[in-house]
Amino acid sequence: HADTLMPGYTHLQHAQPVSLAYHLLAYAFMFRRDYERFASSRERNNLCPLGSAALAGTPHPINRELVARELGFAGVTPNAMDSVSDRDFALEILFNVSVLMTHASRLCEELILWSSQEFGFVAISDAYSTGSSIMPQKKNPDVCELIRGKTGRVNGNLVALLTVMKGLPLAYNKDMQEDKEGVFDSVATALASLEILKQMLKTAKFNEQNMLAMTRRGHLTATDLADYLVREKNVPFRQAHFITGKAVAYAENLGLDLSELNAQQLASVDESLDADAVKFLDLNASKEARKSQGGTANESVAAQIEILNEWLKG
């Protein structure tokens, strides 16, 4: 979908033209960070506490390093009192799951919006939707809504354990038995949510024509016109901003999008808007102009995909 144009949004308002591939890549990089966060937590917490005894170690001649190796740990915890008191490993996995689910929830929220009649950007498979109990025409994005809802559940598990731990003195306290239920629940919830999210995305159908039509609303190339005035005409940005605003108002009075104005119409707005300005109103040209690292141009999108492919190979 590198050539599938759609509106990019800020404040949920039309901002600049981007590609669908670029939009989805933003989530791909979120999920990559999630994976790396789990990997980092494992490296930090893969230490064996056995042999710490109640809190002060043991007088018996044990070999903690041997036990750790036999059980597959990377090493042993260095302080026995910390070992029996520590629940950072549980808090970290709960935090990691919460961030992961928050990312999934944001994706689901956009899919919910995009599947509405107001957007019409995506059709979610019947296998992952349900009908209304009384309205036969409805197709509700239930999987997305459930994942969005379950994010509150895993966030609650994190806050619950943080609340348990916040006032505990060293070393062990029975309150700590509350660590397990939330961790098991959050992990199971995340695994199930990711699996069904993956399957739903595989079957989703994006409506490229509706996306393209919506790029012709909201004057998405206004910034390009202002940049043209600054870069090519040496107009101060404050003045360029004002001139572009006049052009937007002119287009709205004609019932047009800014990208639909011709050279003669632009020239009637301000003398600095010559015939060359028209090409900067083209939606695809606007997308392709953003070739900076991390941008939405095809060249940049291809580089981002390559980054992810190389990471996946590693």
- The single residue of 40, 116, 132, 292 carrying the catalytic annotation is 132
Question: Of 11, 41, 129, 186, which residue is the catalytic one?
Answer: 11
Of 289, 205, 204, 309, which is closest to residue 19 (Cα–Cα)? 289
Contact 20, 4 (CB under 8 A): yes
The answer to whether 105 and 148 are in contact (CB under 8 A) is: yes
CB 2 within 8 A of CB 301: yes
Angle at CA of residue 307, ends 16 and 198, nearest 5°: 75
- For residue 292, indicate whether it is catalytic: no
Contact 29, 44 (CB under 8 A): no
Q: What is the DSSP string of 178-226?
A: GHHHHHHHHHHHHHHHHHHHHHHHHH-EE-HHHHHHHHTTTTTTHHHHH
Partners of 140 in the β-ladder = 130
Q: Does the bond joining 127 to the residue before it have cis omega, within 30 degrees of 0?
A: no
Burial, 277: exposed, middle or buried (Cβ in 10 Å; 0-12, 13-18, 19+)? buried
Q: Position of tokens 């939707």?
A: 129
CA distance 271 to 235: 12
Report which DSSP code applies to 79: -
Which alpha helices (DSSP H) does the chain contain, by range? 20-45, 64-71, 80-85, 88-114, 142-165, 179-203, 208-215, 222-233, 237-253, 263-269, 283-289, 298-313
- How many residues in total does the chain contain? 314
| Active site (annotated) includes residue 186 | no
Active-site residue set: 11, 132
